[in-house]
């Protein structure tokens, strides 16, 4: 199965308790047929279910960490640009003050 959808700010991820232990992703937060629900086969040992959940968690954590790294870099670049602009403005003001003398 391969499915594509765009995640929105309203997107949700919910889970059901054991013994069903389902995981449901709704990219738009609505029941519009675009959700993904994942469950385990009946009789799968709990240790195997836990191993699968750990792999899914690790993948989601890598996805999140990559996004956080990019966001940090963009914030840093924006902050550095703002500081550079402030320094340029300060230097221009100093130069203009010096021209008056």
Question: How confident is the model over 29-67, as pLDDT tens digits?
Answer: 887 778 899 999 999 999 999 999 999 999 999 999 999
C-alpha to C-alpha distances, 93 to 69, 83, 101, nearest whole angstrom? 36, 15, 13
DSSP character for 30? S
Domain boundaries, the chain: 1-39, 41-101
Q: 83 in helix, strand or coil? A: helix
Asked if residue 100 has pLDDT above 70, the reply is: no
Tokens of 1: 């199965």
pTM over 0.85: no
Task: Answer whether the bond into residue 52 is a cis peptide, omega within 30°.
Answer: no
Query: Would you place residue 98 in the very low, low, confident or very high pLDDT band (cuts 50, 70, 90)?
Result: confident
């Amino acid at each position: 199965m391969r499915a594509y959808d765009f995640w929105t700010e309203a997107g949700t991820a919910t889970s059901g308790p054991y013994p069903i232990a389902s995981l449901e992703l709704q990219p738009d937060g609505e029941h519009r047929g675009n959700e993904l629900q994942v469950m385990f086969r009946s009789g799968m040992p709990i240790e195997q279910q836990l191993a699968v959940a750990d792999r899914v968690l690790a993948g989601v954590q890598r996805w999140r960490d990559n996004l956080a790294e990019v966001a940090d870099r963009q914030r840093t670049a924006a902050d550095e640009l703002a500081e550079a602009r402030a320094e340029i403005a300060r230097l221009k003001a100093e130069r203009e003050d010096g021209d008056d003398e």
